[in-house]
Amino acid sequence: MQIDIQTVIQYFQSLQDNICQALEQADGQGKFVEDNWQRKEGGGGRTRVLTDGAVIEQGGVNFSYVSGDAMPAAATAHRPELEGRRWQACGVSLVIHPKNPHIPTSHANVRFFMAEKDGAEPVWWFGGGFDLTPFYPVEEDVVHWHQTAFDLCKPFGDEVYPKYKHWCDEYFYLKHRDETRGVGGLFFDDLNHWSFEKCFDFVKAVGQGYIDAYVPIMNKRKDVGYTEAQRQFQLYRRGRYVEFNLVFDRGTLFGLQTGGRTESILMSMPPLARWQYNYQPEPGSAEAILYQKYLKPQDWLALA
């Protein structure tokens, strides 16, 4: 099977452009600054970061294409069929940290991986998804997020949304805290059971779906006032984001193990975060409701 990775690369670059444009428009002030980089072992990328916008405190939207002659041991331990194969990987990854605690942090990525060996069929798959991490969640925002995810999955089969929603709840879970990172969304990996074209179409739907899901929430919440106490709670909860990315996130670990560009990989970190020993929210408070209601997997569309 001939896989044209250049077509995937071109789409991911245009998706990066479209997401940056949509977020700049919603912010109204900030602009993404581009940092082009090359990887000595093969490939490179475009890191785009927006700081101190009117709405976005810090956000990054990265495109990368990397390649190599051999997979890291961490990857081949789980996929022995990849041993001895040349590999290529490309994708778009983003994290947006708004300043206003009433706007959730959001994350999305779409990616493609291919490994080849002379005389053998290429091994390939897509992965990606998006998830939402609110601090002061509004139920209608969470329902809108999941409704958008449901709608984009629907043309690909009735089983797709429940499967990838469940996978997201399982993946973005902090085992040592016994809580989800946020309210979930979609997560998928190893996607190759459809034709290449259908898998690619699904990834395109996810890329556009992120814009459709997140920008309306930004626009709806960006003018809501907040207190210093709410800001401090946001910084405390951002600490959970750091914990997840450094301890569990496979993309972070893969990037570091394959000699990726550290600045771009760790762009997902919030600009400010804090930790507090044995924090307990006030009973009945908005902070307590986050823990009691929102950091547990559930059928959000049942609330629609």
Average of per-residue pLDDT across 155-180: 97
Check whether 101 has a pLDDT greater than 80. yes
Under the banding of pLDDT at 50, 70 and 90, the label for residue 216 is very high
- Beta-strand relationship, 184-191 and 105-116: unpaired
The answer to whether the beta carbons of residues 77 and 45 sit under 8 Å apart is no
Average of per-residue pLDDT across 24-51: 94
The answer to whether the annotation marks 110 as part of a ligand binding site is: yes
Structure-block tokens of residue 231: 């800001």
pLDDT of residue 75: 64
Q: Kindly report, residue by residue over 76-89, the tens digit of the pLDDT.
A: 667 777 777 889 99
The runs of H, that is alpha helices, within 154-298 are 160-171, 196-221, 228-247, 250-257, 262-265, 286-289
- Mapping DSSP to helix (H, G, I), strand (E, B) and coil, where does residue 95 land? strand
Nearest 5 degrees, angle CA 178-CA 179-CA 184?
145
The answer to whether the annotation marks 176 as part of a ligand binding site is: yes
Average of per-residue pLDDT across 130-146: 98
pLDDT of residue 73: 66
The answer to whether the annotation marks 102 as part of a ligand binding site is: no
The answer to whether the annotation marks 78 as part of a ligand binding site is: no
Which residue would you say has higher pLDDT here, 118 or 201? 201
Only one residue has tokens 């924090």, namely 279
Look at the chain and report how many structural domains it folds into. Answer: 1
Tell me the CB-side half-sphere exposure of residue 224, using CA atoms within 13 A. Answer: 19
Q: What is the pTM of this model?
A: 0.94
The answer to whether the annotation marks 239 as part of a ligand binding site is: no
The residues with which 86 forms a beta bridge, in sequence order, are 116
* Torsion angle in degrees (nearest 10) through CA of 11, 16, 19, 23: -170
Taking residue 258's Cβ as centre, other Cβ atoms within 10 Å add up to: 19
Check whether 114 has a pLDDT greater than 80. yes
Average of per-residue pLDDT across 212-238: 98
The answer to whether the annotation marks 261 as part of a ligand binding site is: yes
The answer to whether the annotation marks 182 as part of a ligand binding site is: no
> Where in the sequence is the domain holding 11, given as residue range(s)?
5-303
Contacts of 247 (CB under 8 A, 6+ apart): 174, 176
Check whether 241 has a pLDDT greater than 80. yes
Residue 155's CATH number: 3.40.1500.10
The answer to whether the annotation marks 237 as part of a ligand binding site is: no
Q: Kindly report, residue by residue over 87-98, the tens digit of the pLDDT.
A: 999 999 999 999
The answer to whether the annotation marks 53 as part of a ligand binding site is: no
Catalytic residue annotation: 107
Average of per-residue pLDDT across 162-169: 98
The answer to whether the annotation marks 97 as part of a ligand binding site is: yes
Taking residue 54's Cβ as centre, other Cβ atoms within 10 Å add up to: 13
The residues with which 201 forms a beta bridge, in sequence order, are none
Mean of pLDDT over the chain: 93
Sign of the dihedral defined by the CA atoms of residues 296, 297, 303, 304, in that order: positive
Nearest 5 degrees, angle CA 177-CA 181-CA 182?
135
- Mapping DSSP to helix (H, G, I), strand (E, B) and coil, where does residue 59 land? strand
Question: By mean pLDDT, which of 99-113, 188-202, 234-248, 250-264 is the weakest?
Answer: 250-264
